[in-house]
Amino acid sequence: MDRRKRKAWRWAAASSAIVLGFSGIGATASAQVGASAQAKGPAPMWFDRQNCEKDSAKSYNPKDEERNTIGTYALDLTETHKLTKGKKATIALIDTGIATNNNNLNPALTGASFGAGVDLTGGNNFRVDNDGHGTADASIIAAQPGKTRSFSGVAPEATIVPVKVANEEPQENADAAAIRAYKQSLAANLVKGISWAANNPSVDVIAIPIAGDSSASNDALKKATEDAISKGKVVVAAAGNSENRRGGSSSPSATSTSSASSSENMRYPAGYEGVIGVTAADSQGNVNESVVHSDAVKLVAPGQNMIVANGATGICLTSTQAPSTSYATAYVAGVAALVKARHPRESGRMITYRLLSSANRASAASSNKERGWGFVNPYGAVTMVDDGQIPGPTSPVIQRLKPVPTVGSKVPPEPHDPQGNGRKVGIIWAGAGVGLTVVLLILAAGRSRMALRPREADDDADNAKG
């Protein structure tokens, strides 16, 4: 499981690059926590072993000089939230459960909508999170806004259905057999979790912040993922963190991971066709060696310096040393919920297409192994008009017209505007309305003249008699 995972990087909808500095937020706290752990022995398994202390009630609030480096603030969602906040869209979060304290949620999640989930680990309680990772991801998606709270979720009105597939990791000093058993259990539960979500009619989006290397791919996992897509679900999965990380939080995984330069980079289920594989940007908006580069990558999203719910009580800043594709996956799942809520009748494939085609990228017609189709663009995905001519991914609905070359012409075509078709339609209707008004006025004038003619004839006859 991958995990390290406004105005900060305030992207306008059409912006194509982010350039920011990194101030090393959390470095001092990381050193202090690390020193404490060394003094007390092996650190407890928790989703962030540096900045998010288990059972802590501390609430992180960034200083003004820190805000420009925090991934949570990367994209300004103000305009998008005027159109949709994810209401009536449901996300199945396949993770480690949701933390509660005496059945109370973290303050950041109090008031959020949670559906009936499932615990596939044998504990029969998805409202227990012994790792903290599931709760952190849930807060990225649906944390509730508050006057004194430092963050809110991407889709605060969406419903989350927790699908618990893992408990806490084995201790760092666990033997090889215990680690192997844990990974085998996680891999099996992942298949069950995807199948459960696929067969849940209320689920629109399946978020999978879990990545296994090529050895994790098997017929059962592939079939479960394909079934979910065929049933109209939007499947969003982590494209993977590499071994070349610079510290920070980590998370359990179904298998071991390889370096970003490995020839066997594909992570699963992100690598299956139709899945939105998500990579994570660092504090400068770049995709570096801390994450895997592969054909599984379809979108980039914020993944470093993320503000999250810390268990059932606190709020902390995680993934300070390196980006995490887990958190980026939760972010994109939230955006998918925003789009689904705005376009409830559209298929999962169409929602996926909206997310990919609207992403901000340098080359509109191509993707690559580092950034996929580009940086996720919530407002663009919500407002895009599909006319079949947007460069990039192929529309599942409208067939793209083949360009007809003009002999001898050197005039380049105008860049495609995905919102332009809607504007053109509006202009056409406006013109048609004006034309119709003119016609009606002419007809009305004609009828008035016809009505006057009999009266004029009668007056003429009376005058002749007189």
Hey, which residues are catalytic here? 95, 133, 326
Specify whether the CB–CB gap between 323 and 68 falls below 8 A.
no
DSSP code, position 64: G
| Burial status of residue 351 (CB atoms within 10 A of its CB: 0-12, 13-18, 19 or more) | buried
Residue 261 neighbours by CB under 8 Å, 6+ apart: 289, 293
Residue type, 102: N
For 100-111, give the secondary structure using H, E and C: EECCEECCCCCC
What value, to the nearest 5°, has the Cα angle with vertex 112 and ends 106 and 115?
105
Partners of 119 in the β-ladder:
164
| Burial status of residue 414 (CB atoms within 10 A of its CB: 0-12, 13-18, 19 or more) | exposed
Q: Is 306 helix (H, G, I), strand (E, B) or coil?
A: strand
What is the number of other CB atoms lying within 10 angstroms of the CB of residue 384? 21
CA gap 239, 29 in Å, rounded = 29
Please say whether the dihedral angle defined by the alpha carbons of residues 53, 257, 161 and 340, taken in this order, is positive or negative: positive
